[in-house]
Structure 1
């Protein structure tokens, strides 16, 4: 099996070679291929993302890459002292020769507290108390030590019960949704409200243990016979993760909005359950996590602060969450007066926005609420129970995903109810209607003119949320007793900032995965300057998320597209300049920056973006299924629906690093998304312009010159085909099914066979065979064709497949794109008609060609294209503070910065350093950037 030059270098590095990551150009002949040696796995160092073991760890799953040729083997895990740890391992991807490329591993709860871990060949140690999942009658039972969970396979309850030893601690966990037919707040006289509960349609055991068990539950929300008229909608999928030694279950829940935004206004979404209460009222405890390690802790029947003192042992025990001494030992006045001490049954923590939460309680329905306390940002964890046991319930990204709420009800009764509202019922309803009435844009000519002024690609009926989704993570603990305040605070930190294990950047880089990137190198002034600017931009965007409050249920994880320096705000209300929706690949910039640095802040920002853009910006059912929505004021509002946004290339790094099954599902959904383009013509508006009007911006659309037959579509190479390749490549790696490889190769060979190859921009495409049909005789170069993951996916294709004709076609395109007009004309046989924008970002095409052709002149040209900042950022980016009456609150701004330019500058910087870093210093000196 042939392997690429990169793989040869990787094996040399792992063997201890001192060879540099970016060798001198021309030192190794391009496309040098060697046969796989079948090397054994090399030990991988695994570290905690945040730099130290967490105080509470409920079990871990992480991914590890391996260089091509690594033989399949059993894996063992050792801590820093060399002690063997339990581990469960499975393969998540293979190289073309069948050797392992990615594996996933699971660690029991509380096992990795000794710092860095080492994974390598060896026998896996079994956990002391394994977790096991199996069908038991009409339920799935998961056992781990003293805990037994029963998972429903039909009906409304996802978790039927959880027992801790002989005691039932938790029961009847399910989903709840409420909606109304009008938004309210206008002039409506009456509003019809409905309540829906989860209804399971399928349940599957995906992993049985012994370290990790996974159960997947699918379903929908159904109304009762009188409430909701039996309607079934809002389909959901939910995975429940159980780890050996854990007292919790981690839940990854996703739902799809499949309603009518004109009549379906969601007013509440929650996860609810019951907690049996057997302790006496004064031994029943309620806990809410505040900010940091803050804890709000009270009892259902307080014994402190009374006019009569029950005695210090009673007060101390209740405050600590312990069982108080026998009532007979209580001071007589308090014992006799207990019937007159109120029982507080209902408690609520409400976080309506990112800046404040409040806690209130009442005795029971029909009586007034009493304000208890408040703060800024709650960590999203509650508890109800007592010394005999109880339940802690939490939600990750709690305040970031506002409006949210934690409810405890009937804590004074035999069973308390809790609800994690991931959209709070006391907030305004979700109003997903389009934000304007069309303003007379009823045909393509007017729509194009609207696009020309606001950059919004509007079309009536296309800005629908029908089919978008959202994923939320919950954690439920079935506990034998009330946790101490210190443990509860640590549990809250575990929910708010889930601990993660990851391979080191050096280990990931040495495996040769994810294309062209190198480890940070600040050894020269030029390299240090580029690294510093990348760090500055990463920090700037993190700060913008906070300063601009880019939070909320549908928004968290995305960033804005373009800045308005006059208003000192991002253009949140201006057409296509608002939410970025993955435009020009900020997702990849964040992930490659993390791979290089291992920075936990970058990881969490990239994770939030992956969760958002793969769910909210993509359609999961309906007429646009498999396509994403171009950047707009509302995430789903733009009428340009394209594969470039649903792009699996943006998800695969997160998937392989975490083995996250939900993201795996999202990528698998895209395998046949090209068929959606049969009835969604991306280029439908291109020819509908008044003479002399500006062309529509941002669609990157080209159209076919000849009619299409059934089973054919017109497909752009970069924005569409390369995006689809990301899904097919991932599926080939995950399953080994060669039909996906063959589909990719069919596209590659047919592009190479076209007269103008990549310069044609797109061509007729046969859905059945995956081949481009032509004609491909005209040059049509778009600045968007290679900025949606095309560069990254082609880098991987070069490494994985040997298709010389295609490789030459892509390298020709890379050489020509930024070439001077005369050279462009000579290379393409066509005069330069414009459209070659984003020179700075496209310098990485030149660098790619330089590396693979061994051409030092192209390397110098790449840096000459990168430094001036033409249609990009250039060097020397700095933010300035704006305060006073010019703004609502003090903010930092960098008017020159846009997300398009940032993402492409960052990707070009990272890839140019990896590809032609040896040519940097000369170019730096000549560019004048050093002086700037």
Structure 2
């Protein structure tokens, strides 16, 4: 069922109008939303659970809240109040500050079970108070012990074991938590060749206590996988998250590929725990979850279905997971040794649409089929009525091939393994998908680009340096959970509870360019725009499932373009396949979420942020930290660019969730311009050459500088970095000082300072791509944040002139810009200029540019055709005029115009 905002659209429109009444006056001031600071309402914020309803359980929650400039001092405290007026214990910290030192984004955490059953909350600014909480941390020389009040976790600082022991109320539940990696040296080609297999375990190099409670604690563990021959490779980062009162630990698992894709084929990647077991085999329980709350539950030694009946009480107790005490009936007890004990179980999800469960008595004996299903929620349990370990992988079937193993449950020490890449699947094959097809010269590569839109160059389509982050949880339980309880845990692992702020708050606070919201007067025509926005999101959401855009390396991304002849997305055609953030798909999803508050929009944007920030970016190696342009493989394109790795796409998730991994990714981009000395973005255009030892790099004022500006702005507001601030301000000043401002296009930038050298006076022009990868959004924020009239003038000139008539361009710029593309998408630039200049003519022009749809979407349509066999393999939905580029730009522009120039929508 479609999940809508907890606010109706009419309520949102009415609220936004009240918040921004008198906008033509306010909008001429930098950061107008910040002028709400000082009001009583600004010192408190309405919050709610994501999705609008309180969850059935919570293992702890962390979230971010934006504040208007000047509202919250750095030494302020916070108070969280539920709907019943009760205060909820909270831990708070600052994520970002305004230039005046006041808090721009605060982060907050509550413990397990806190805030329930309240569906809404109020966060208020108070005097700083000492935070309370149950988490206790003992940081020893060689290990760290964290006690949540329920579980005690002993974390190693060296060796293979990340988690040495895991206890509940001092009872040992699990131990020896270790990463496992299985490899082979050749793929499975079916040619009779036998691969050489190898096994690796984690080896810790560093442990950092990133947050020390008292409500939330975070431990970061880094290292590599090492085999018996001491080969160390595949760097990992594991983050362990603890909340007060929690019986669970959240695990964030990141690997970076640093092998040779021609000989390092991963055939198993996961995390393993030993689980001590005792007591009778018929009191040991195995559980797996399936689909729609389904649970597979068995005992290691089954007492049901026997020829001789142990009695209803025994059978019921075993099925329910309760302890069977006392002597069994003699007819069963004297023959127990003849009932097989099944010690090994496996749940294997090879595709997004099928899983199987198998079991066997022990190694050396055959497997038998136990169950089948479609989409497992990916959670298991091993233990006894006296306690055990529940474990699960988030996005289990979406990130196939995945696998859960239970081994040796019939012995005194069983084990569980959560496999992010399943050993039962084919090995991970990261080799480039073609042999180059003779493209051994620049001219041939240009021709290849002309036919398949693929930017190919030998050696560039390598996965070296790409990463993948997975998420899992372990639950330390006091007894075998009921089927209902385990199903509830599985649901939580897949959809962890989160708190967030009400829709108007981001605009009130003036974050993410939310300072310019005008009056929101409804009309039937504008309601059509809202409905079209909903239609496009809903269509892509369905396409993810219909087209099976799933898999370990793929989940979170969407495709670029559609093939109407084959009735498939162009998954195999060069640069038309995976989208890789092209034309700001990430931004479209995030702004759609911010405007609607829809939970399903948040989840889709979250998955895309995880994917594009990890898989589409090289994190180590010669291309780091650049990203790869759209391609059949996410890392396949030879165009390595800042516009893909841009921090601008990541900031939303970071500030909404305080996610540490995304924080790492953003920090890695602050010196990204250094790589432009050797990896020049425009190689297929001008064959430019870089200077690897130079102090300068060629940087465009569009996709390159927009990305750098996003990184520097974020680093400045997160950390107060003077280097980031100086680079940002210097770059803004020296762009404004160029002969033609933004129309100069590019210049040499001094890497240390961010200062651009003056470009030749004759250098003049515009690229249609410059302002479609986050540049407008970042410039909007910068103009609100920094008072620099020369920069604003240069940006407004670009905004006004890009789509201007040729005569107007000649009059203002001295010459025309020629035929430019993506006119519809650039209408939001025209609208921004209209707001800043209070120019009704420009506002009306912006609407005309948008509604005419040049180089975009001309016709509003929500029509869908459903095709089925034998025309297509599977039933598919097709919509007219759909391409991801066009939809992303249309969506961003529609939302911007509805915010900026709502009142100037043309009359019929």
TM over 0.5: yes
Q: Whole-Å Cα distance in 1 between the matches of residues 126 and 697 of structure 2? A: 51
Residue number in structure 1 paired with 2:144: 140
1:71 to partner: Cα distance: 2.6
Judge which range, 877-886 or 466-475, deviates more: 877-886
Summarize deviations over 1:423-452 as a string: whole Å, max 9, x none: 001111111111111111111111011001
Closer, same or farther: CA 235–525 of 1 in aligned 2, 3 Å? same
1:45 to partner: Cα distance: 1.5
Question: For 1:611, what is the secondary structure of its paired residue?
Answer: helix
Closer, same or farther: CA 881–771 of 1 in aligned 2, 3 Å? same
Closer, same or farther: CA 415–126 of 1 in aligned 2, 3 Å? farther
Residue number in structure 2 paired with 1:920: 905
Q: Could you tell me which runs of 5 or more consecutive residues in structure 1 were left unpaired when the two chains were aligned.
A: 1-12, 689-702, 926-932
Closer, same or farther: CA 480–520 of 1 in aligned 2, 3 Å? farther
Q: State yes or no: 1:269 paired with 2:269.
A: yes
Q: Whole-Å Cα distance in 2 between the matches of residues 106 and 336 of structure 1? A: 55
Residue number in structure 1 paired with 2:655: 656
Judge which range, 546-555 or 817-826, deviates more: 817-826
Summarize deviations over 1:510-564 as a string: whole Å, max 9, x none: 2111004759968211210100000000000000000000000000000000110
1:627 to partner: Cα distance: 0.2
Q: How many residues align?
A: 887
Q: Whole-Å Cα distance in 2 between the matches of residues 888 and 534 of structure 1? A: 29
Q: Whole-Å Cα distance in 2 between the matches of residues 36 and 401 of structure 1? A: 44
Q: State yes or no: 1:77 paired with 2:75.
A: no
Closer, same or farther: CA 562–414 of 1 in aligned 2, 3 Å? same
Q: 5 Å matches for 1:360-399?
A: 360-399=358-397
Please point out which of 430, 435, 438 is paired with 2:436: 438
Please point out which of 803, 806, 811 is paired with 2:796: 811
* 1:198 and 1:219 in contact (8 A); partners too: yes
Please point out which of 181, 186, 189 is paired with 2:193: 189
* 1:213 and 1:242 in contact (8 A); partners too: yes
Q: Whole-Å Cα distance in 2 between the matches of residues 123 and 400 of structure 1? A: 45
Please point out which of 911, 919, 925 is paired with 2:896: 911
Q: 5 Å matches for 1:71-110?
A: 71-72=72-73, 73-110=76-113
Residue number in structure 2 paired with 1:545: 544
Give the alignment's Cα RMSD to 1 decimal: 2.1
Judge which range, 711-720 or 825-834, deviates more: 825-834
Q: Whole-Å Cα distance in 2 between the matches of residues 173 and 20 of structure 1? A: 52
Q: Whole-Å Cα distance in 2 between the matches of residues 900 and 396 of structure 1? A: 29
* 1:21 and 1:914 in contact (8 A); partners too: no
* 1:355 and 1:377 in contact (8 A); partners too: yes
Question: For 2:898, what is the secondary structure of its paired residue?
Answer: helix
Residue number in structure 1 paired with 2:55: 54
Please point out which of 352, 355, 360 is paired with 1:354: 352
* 1:396 and 1:495 in contact (8 A); partners too: yes
Summarize deviations over 1:822-860 as a string: whole Å, max 9, x none: 2222222223333x2101100001001000011000000
Closer, same or farther: CA 355–708 of 1 in aligned 2, 3 Å? closer
1:911 to partner: Cα distance: 0.6
Residue number in structure 2 paired with 1:216: 220
Residue number in structure 1 paired with 2:64: 63
Q: Whole-Å Cα distance in 1 between the matches of residues 592 and 610 of structure 2? A: 18
* 1:106 and 1:211 in contact (8 A); partners too: yes
Q: Whole-Å Cα distance in 2 between the matches of residues 758 and 483 of structure 1? A: 62
* 2:520 and 2:899 in contact (8 A); partners too: no
Closer, same or farther: CA 28–107 of 1 in aligned 2, 3 Å? closer
Q: Whole-Å Cα distance in 2 between the matches of residues 345 and 600 of structure 1? A: 41
Q: Whole-Å Cα distance in 2 between the matches of residues 893 and 22 of structure 1? A: 42
1:37 to partner: Cα distance: 6.5
Q: 5 Å matches for 1:633-648?
A: 633-648=632-647
Closer, same or farther: CA 36–527 of 1 in aligned 2, 3 Å? closer
Residue number in structure 2 paired with 1:256: 256
Closer, same or farther: CA 374–127 of 1 in aligned 2, 3 Å? farther
Please point out which of 832, 839, 843 is paired with 2:827: 843
Question: For 1:772, what is the secondary structure of its paired residue?
Answer: coil
Q: State yes or no: 1:154 paired with 2:154.
A: no
Q: Whole-Å Cα distance in 1 between the matches of residues 26 and 243 of structure 2? A: 50
* 1:22 and 1:918 in contact (8 A); partners too: no
Q: Could you tell me which runs of 5 or more consecutive residues in structure 2 were left unpaired when the two chains were aligned.
A: 1-11
Q: Whole-Å Cα distance in 2 between the matches of residues 837 and 152 of structure 1? A: 56
Residue number in structure 2 paired with 1:530: 529
1:177 to partner: Cα distance: 0.8
* 1:281 and 1:412 in contact (8 A); partners too: yes
Q: Whole-Å Cα distance in 2 between the matches of residues 421 and 585 of structure 1? A: 33
Please point out which of 402, 406, 409 is paired with 2:407: 409
Please point out which of 781, 786, 792 is paired with 2:766: 781
Q: Whole-Å Cα distance in 1 between the matches of residues 113 and 403 of structure 2? A: 29
* 1:219 and 1:235 in contact (8 A); partners too: yes
* 1:674 and 1:767 in contact (8 A); partners too: yes
1:35 to partner: Cα distance: 8.6
Q: State yes or no: 1:736 paired with 2:724.
A: no
Summarize deviations over 1:311-341 as a string: whole Å, max 9, x none: 1111111111110121x2x211011111111
1:188 to partner: Cα distance: 5.3
Closer, same or farther: CA 75–570 of 1 in aligned 2, 3 Å? same
Q: State yes or no: 1:892 paired with 2:877.
A: yes
Residue number in structure 2 paired with 1:696: none
* 1:383 and 1:392 in contact (8 A); partners too: yes
Q: Whole-Å Cα distance in 2 between the matches of residues 220 and 807 of structure 1? A: 47
* 1:345 and 1:409 in contact (8 A); partners too: yes
Closer, same or farther: CA 563–522 of 1 in aligned 2, 3 Å? farther
Closer, same or farther: CA 22–874 of 1 in aligned 2, 3 Å? farther
Summarize deviations over 1:124-156 as a string: whole Å, max 9, x none: 898986012231341000012242110010000
Closer, same or farther: CA 312–520 of 1 in aligned 2, 3 Å? farther
Closer, same or farther: CA 128–775 of 1 in aligned 2, 3 Å? closer
Please point out which of 118, 124, 129 is paired with 2:122: 118
Q: 5 Å matches for 1:494-573?
A: 494-516=492-514, 523-573=522-572
Summarize deviations over 1:593-642 as a string: whole Å, max 9, x none: 10111101100000000000000000100000110000011000000000
Residue number in structure 1 paired with 2:598: 599
1:708 to partner: Cα distance: 10
Question: For 1:771, what is the secondary structure of its paired residue?
Answer: coil
Summarize deviations over 1:758-791 as a string: whole Å, max 9, x none: 0011111111221111315211210000100000
Summarize deviations over 1:854-897 as a string: whole Å, max 9, x none: 10000000000000111111342222211221111111112411
